[in-house]
Each structure stands twice: as C-alpha cells, then as structure tokens.
Structure 1
Amino acid sequence: MILTVTLNPSLDRTIEIGALTRGAVIRAGAAHLDPGGKGVNVSRALLANQITSCAVIPYGGDEGRRLIGLLSAEGLDMITVPVSGPTRSNITLAEPDGTVTKINEPGTALSPAELDTVADAVLGAAHSADWVVASGSLPPEVPSDVYARLCARFAIAGIHVAVDTSGPALLAAVSAGPALIKPNREELAEATGVRIATLGDAIDAARKLRAMGARTVLASLGPDGAVLVEGDAEEERVWFGQCPVAEPRSTVGAGDAMLAGFLAAGARGRGALVEALAWATAAVALPGSRMPRSKDIRRDLVRIREADPTLPLQSGG
C-alpha cells in the first residue's frame, strides 16, 4: 500500500482560454474543478489504475469540505484531519499550445497541535504501507524539516519514503536519506546551484543530491523527458527516457502522475521509468488536473535512450 501525505491540499480550478493577454477581458472556454495537492494527485492517479493507496489530508472551511466531497465521489481512501483554517484554492489558465499559468494561494498555517494530529494520523496508518509519499509545498509557519522528520522516523521501521517538494524542505529532506526524491528541472537547479542546460547538467545535479543523502533521484525535465539515477555508488545506473505529447492540454499534476507510475512499477530500473513517463505524458494530454486511467496510458510511445550528457535541453532552467 502507498500512503500519501499532503500538508497543503487545494481545490484546483482550471480554465481553458485562447490566449493570455495582460489587462484584457478574456472569455473562458471549458472550466474544470478538481482536487489538488501533490500527494492527493499521486493517490488519485494510483486509484485511477486500481492500485491501493490512502491519502492523509488536513482540510478546513467550505473549500476543504468541497475538496473532501470531490475525493469521496472519486472513491479515494482517505484519512481526513479537520483544521481551523480554510483549504486553499488555486487557479490555472491553460492555453491551446500547452502553456499553463498558475496562481497558487499560500495556504493556511497549521498550528503545532494540528501538525501533531496529522503526524499521528500518518504514523498510525504507515504500519501497513510499503511507501510513504511526502509531497507538495508546506503551509505557512510549518517547519521546513517536517518531511525530514518523517524520513527519519520511517527509515527505522523499514518503510520507504518518497519526497517531492522544493526549497528548504527539499534540502532538509535530502539530508535525512529518503529512498526517493522527484525534483523537476527548476528544483534540481535550486537545490544544487547547478544551471541545468544539458542532460549532463541534470545528471550531475542528481548525483549531488545523492551524495547529500537521497538514494534514488527521478528528475522530470518537462518536454525533454526524465532522468533516473539510482543504485549504489559502486554500481550507479543512469536511465534517460522521453515520450512525445501530441496535443498537450495541461501540465498540472503531470509530475504527480509520473511519481505514481514510478512507484506503481516497483520504483526502480528501466521498467519503472517507462511507466513514469507514460503516466506523466497521459496526464499532460488531459484537461485540468485529471489523472490518467489505463486506457489513456501509452507505454509503446516511451523511448529509453542512452543518456548523452551533451544533449541540450529546451529553453528554461
């Protein structure tokens, strides 16, 4: 069983528009309201593919009750923790060429007592878990070492921890030795101080994070694919893969689908990278933060290639 923890969940409203013009009145096309938060999305992706998962979710206010209602309608197995502050709402503007503009609220601070209640819920459910996924941004005033403390606690019990976050929370978690981290290109650069212009830069940055404590690094590189660096120092393995997207609609949740696919396939090696890329690509082709089902996933489109360190990555990073 895979247990996910989302300390800063959200309601995600995605609005499809023709083009984003600052200061203009823009007529919206389709709109979608979906549950949000990185751990929530990992559990939703697993559920969509009949893989056992449970999500620990703090919630509050009308937005929080609506979030829990949407997840209940999907049939998600949850442990819900009521908190005093309202759950945040995020807005995504999606253009036809796949360009996405996100406006994310910071969320509401969790009191020390509320954070302890969430931690107790995680610890109570973790005894039956193979993996604990700690992911997403932290609400205001939550200590940046909260994921690191989860890593340390579960390592003693032999439970694997996957971390997908950014900034100080990522650096603190890496030092606690998580089994897996899943940074994107920007998070790789921020955590290591390496400018990611080539595939070799991404691999070097992943190696730095492994040297700091992470055992496996699955780095998503956007349209350039993903790189996986794993194994012991004496027997390191580097895998690189790509998967084309014919008609991108929304990148929201694609990284979460990637992590879910990777864990679903055993979290190691070529096969897990294929699954990760196939799930992520399927998510990009769906509107809003919809998670792909088995009928959406095309493993045959994934190409695992030799990791050429000189390969330039697309603009950005």
Structure 2
Amino acid sequence: MIITVTPNPSLDRTYHVDEFRLGELHRANYVAVEASGKGVNVSRVLAALGVPTVAVLPVGGRAGHDLATLLGETRLPCRAVHVGGAARVNVTVIEPGGRTTKVNEPGEPLTEAELDELVRQARTAAVETGAAWVACCGSLPPGAGPELVARLVDAAHAAGARAAVDTSGAALPAALAAGADLVKPNREELAELAGRPLPDLADVVGAAREVAAGGTAVLASAGSEGAVLVDGGATRCLWARAPRIRPVNTTGAGDTLLAGYLAAFLGRGAADAAVCLAEAVALGTSACLVPGTAELPERLIPAAEVTVRRIDAAPLPEEPHEARRSLANGAEPGPARLDIGGVG
C-alpha cells in the first residue's frame, strides 16, 4: 500500500492546439478535464499498475466537488479532507511535438485546523492500511509553511512507513531536515536546492550526490536525459535513459516516474535499484506518449530498452566537459573523467 498526500490538488484542463500564438484565438482539437495534483497523479498511475493506493487531499468549492466526482468515477480510493476554500484550476496548452504552456492557479489557503486534519488523515490512512510508503507530492497551499512537509514525513515514520517527497522551494530542504527517505526533484528544483545552475547531466549527478550524502535517497528527473538515482549516503549512483521518443504530453511524466519507482521498490527493494530505476524511467517515458496527464498507453516502453549505467562515487572533476558530453550521449568516458559501468 502506498499513501499519497496532495496538499494543493487541482482540476486540470488540457487543450491541444495546432500552434499556440500569444494574443490570438485558438480552437482546441482535444480537451481533457482531470482530477490532478502530483499526489493524485501518482496514485492514479499506481492504481493502473495494480498497486494498492489511497490519495489523501483537501477538497472544497465547486472545483473541489468536480475533482471529487472525477476521482469517484475512476474509482480511485481517496480520503477527502473537506475545506472551506475552493480547489484550484490549472490550464495546460499543448502543441504538436509536445511543447507545453501551463497556467497554474495558486490555490486557496487552508486553516490550521484543516492542515492538522490533513496530517491526521495521512497518518491514519498509513496506520490502518499498513502502508509501506507515504508520498507527499506537489506545491503547498498559500500560507502553509514548509513545516507541513516535515509534519507529513514525521507522520509517515510514526506509522512505520517510509516517506517520499516531491515538492519544491523551501519545502524540499524541510523534507531533508525531517529525514525523508526519498526526494524526487526535477532538474530545476535540484538546481535551486544546490544553489547553482545544473546545465549538464554531470552537474545533476554532482548535485544529487551532495543531497544524498545527508542520508536521503535522491531520484532526480532530467527530462530527455533520463533520471539519476543516488542512494542515501551517496554510496551508489545510477543513471538511466529510455529510447528517444516524440512526446505528446510531458505533463505528469515526473509523477509517473515516481509512481513507477515506488511500485518497483515494493516488489524488489533497494537491492535491485537498477531494475527499479529502469522500470520507473520506462513508465515515465511511456506517459509522454499519450495526451492525458500521468496516463499510460496500452503499449508500454519495456524496461529492457532502458539504458542503465553505474556512475562511480568518486568526486566529479571540476571541469568534466568531455565527461559531460559522453555521459549525455550514453557513452563511457575515459577513466580520468567519469567511471560509468554497465549494470547487468
């Protein structure tokens, strides 16, 4: 069982257009309305994989009513915390080739009592189901401090579960300080955490190692360059990339990556980290092939087609330009740069 917590869920409207032009009228050729928010997306993918899951989220207002109705129609198990504020509505516009424009509402604040109830419901769900993981995902409601994420990490541990966090801003270091077992930043979030740009894949690897050295495993998504997994303590680092694709919709791919990793971890554990990462990257890439958000196509990219490489834990050189190019191309650089070995 995996519990997800979405502190700031949304009703997502997605439009596909032939070309997006500022200041002009557009006619959509595809429209979708979905219950969303990162944790909801993770639970949706887990349910599609046959993994038991419960989504915990605040629900309020007309948009919240529509959101709850959609969850009910898909039979996704959830625990709704009824709140006074309305759920937010997000809009996504997608062009051929996958270029995406998003407009996300901030959401409405939750009262202290509503935040307390959200944490309580997350812990109760984890205890009652014997959950293996509690995943706190997405942005926080306006006015909610980063301590909310720390409280959710504590609630997971108190229930005997591991805690995974996929968030941004001040909430991410709060998750690390609280002892989260896994964080899943994207490249931009990892760069903010590291306090420097990460233009190349080797920069992503270096930053992920720095974060993981504190004891929290890092699953960092790097878009078309794949994903990096570093275990807590930074003793092992893996990089994986799927075959090149022509994306249809990349929204929710990171949520699918996380869901895939957690699902694989349930069955295999940390000892099979390379297989877990391969399955996660295969799923995350597969999700880019369909119009919906965090949906899976009928035919998935096989995990066997994902390239996985082990990266030596030695410190990266200060100017590994050749290594960066080699790593990005999936080749083995010279021993003076990065030591990347195959994983069998």
Task: Give your verdict on TM over 0.5.
Answer: yes
Q: CA deviation at 1:87?
A: 0.6
CA distance in 2, matches of 1:16, 1:67: 21
Deviates more, 1:224-233 or 1:98-107: 224-233
Give 1:231 shift. Answer: 4.8
In the comparison of the two structures, how many residue pairs are matched? 311
1:70 is aligned to 2:74: no
Q: CA deviation at 1:105?
A: 0.3
Normalised to the residue count of structure 1, the TM-score between the two structures is 0.93
Name 2:210's counterpart in structure 1: 208
1:219-234 to 2 correspondences below 5 Å: 219-233=220-234
Higher mean Cα deviation, 254-263 or 290-299? 290-299
1:302 equivalenced with 2:306 (yes/no)? yes
Separation in 1 of the partners of 2:102 and 2:255?
A: 16
Structure 1 window deviating more from structure 2 (276-285 vs 190-199): it is 190-199
Instruction: Note the 1:232-243 alignment, pairs <5 A.
Output: 232-233=233-234, 236-243=235-242
What residue number does 1:144 align with? 146
Give the secondary structure class of the aligned counterpart of 1:296: coil
Aligned partners of 1:97 and 1:249 also within 8 Å: yes
1:9 matched to 2:9:
yes
- In 1: Cα distance, 2:136 partner to 2:109 partner: 18
1:272 corresponding residue in structure 2: 276
Structure 2 SS opposite 1:28: coil
* Change in 2 beyond 3 A, CA 1:214/1:162: farther
Other-structure match for 2:111:
111
1:1-317 paired onto structure 2 within 5 Å: 1-127=1-127, 128-211=130-213, 213-233=214-234, 236-266=235-265, 268=270, 269-292=273-296, 295-307=299-311, 310-312=323-325
Which stretch shifts more, 305-314 or 117-126? 305-314
Change (3 A) 1:290 1:178: closer
Tell me how far apart the structure 2 counterparts of residues 290 and 219 of structure 1 sit (CA, whole Å).
18
Query: Following TM superposition, by how much is the alpha carbon of 1:204 offset from its aligned partner in structure 2, in angstroms?
Result: 1.4
1:221 CA drift (Å): 0.1
Partners of 1:261 and 1:218 in 2: CA distance: 12
Q: Percent identity?
A: 45
What is the TM-score when the length of structure 2 is the normalising length? 0.86
How far off its partner does 1:194 sit?
Answer: 2.6
Query: For residues 39-62 of structure 1, what are the alpha-carbon distances to aligned partners after superposition, in whole Å with 9 as ceiling and x for unaligned?
Result: 000000000111100010111111
Which fold has the larger relative contact order, with Cα–Cα distance below 8 Å and residues 6 or more apart in sequence? 1
Superposed CA deviations along residues 268-306 of structure 1, whole A, max 9, x for unmatched, are: 310110111011011111113142167434323311135
Deviation of 1:153 after TM superposition, in Å, equals 3.7
Structure 2 counterpart of 1:262, one-letter code: Y
Find the aligned partners of 2:298 and 2:134 in 1 and give their Cα distance. Answer: 23
Deviation at 1:35, TM superposition (A): 1.2
Is the 1:145–1:169 Cα contact (8 Å) retained in structure 2? yes
Any conservation in 1 of the 2:136–2:149 contact (CA below 8 Å)? Answer: yes
Q: Secondary structure at the match of 2:51?
A: coil
Task: Give the letter for the 2:183 counterpart.
Answer: I
Contact 2:58 2:82 in 1 (8 A): yes
Q: 1:94 to 1:263 in 2, by over 3 A?
A: same
For residues 79-119 of structure 1, the C-alpha deviation after alignment (integer angstroms, 9 at most, x for no partner) is 11111111110000101011111100000100001111111
Q: Deviations over 1:250-271 (max 9, x none)?
A: 1111100000000000163101
Give me the whole-angstrom Cα distance separating, in 2, the residues matched to 1:13 and 1:298: 30
Q: Work out whether residues 249 and 292 of structure 2, in 8 Å CA contact, stay in contact via their aligned partners in 1.
A: yes
Q: Residue 130 of structure 1 contacts residue 160 of structure 1 at CA under 8 Å; is this kept in 2?
A: yes
- Over 3 Å counting, the alpha-carbon distance change for 1:297 and 1:48 in structure 2 is farther
Q: Distance in 1 between matches of 2:229 and 2:217?
A: 8
Q: Does the 8 Å contact 2:217/2:233 carry over to 1?
A: no
Residue 226 of structure 1: how far off its partner (Å):
0.4
Counterpart of 1:184, as a letter, is N
1:22 CA drift (Å): 1.2
